[in-house]
Amino acid sequence: VGPGHGIQLACGRLVVPAYAYYVHGSSCGVLRLPCATRPHSLVFYSDDGGRGWHKGALVAGGPTGECQVAEISASDAPLLYCNARTPGGCRAVTFSADRGLRFQRSGRCKALSEPPRGCQGSVVSFATGAGRTGEAGRWLLYSHPTNRYRRRDLGIYLNTSPLEDGGWRHPWVLHPGPAGYSDLAACPGGLFGCLFECGAASACEEIVFCLFALGTSDGSQKNLKVS
């Protein structure tokens, strides 16, 4: 389970992201041993305040590991967005229309790169004001190292159109230099918090917390600024 945070959906359901290794094949012989395993993301959910828990289906598609989920707005009903670590050079993304019971087959999000062995990333959704349709929507924030070759330069990405991979803006670098795992939180007053690994020579030297806000520079474009 984890790392990172779980969420509570608008309907009250508690959702905790996780991943498991599934045996896709086993060796033949008297003693059958697993010979082909692959990680798959999934969620655990509770509809009674955490007293009882159930397992959602494994995410189909390529290997998906450490993941986080966020509730977003769709045209007819809320969707559960899942962003997962993969070894393929970019993140895997999928959606669930039934609050985590099943996810669509995962797809590659080329706008969000991964270092060669991947790295955990964090995602949160937050409510925005009324859009052009007059309805309030939800945007996404995502934190992850921006360097394609190693764990460094932790960035914050904004997506104002969560259903579209092309909605991700160019990242703002929160921490230049070695950086690894992170966890985002939407805080009161329009602020956001990020807890992350970082250091001068290695990403595992210390854990830092940073508070920041979305600022408006020209009345229309959102920019990330440290608060």
Per residue in 110-161, pLDDT (tens digit) is 999 999 999 999 999 999 864 444 345 899 999 999 999 999 999 999 999 9
Q: How confident is the model at residue 73 (pLDDT cuts 50, 70, 90)?
A: confident
Q: Is the peptide bond before 116 cis (omega within 30 degrees of 0)?
A: no
Q: Report the pLDDT value the prediction gives residue 219, as an integer from 0 to 100.
A: 35
CATH number of 7-226: 2.120.10.10
Contacts of 51 (CB under 8 A, 6+ apart): none
Encode pLDDT of 177-210 as tens digits. 999 999 999 999 999 999 999 999 999 999 999 9
Pair 138, 126: CB distance under 8 Å: yes
Domain boundaries, the chain: 7-226
Burial class (CB in 10 A: 0-12, 13-18, 19+), 219: exposed
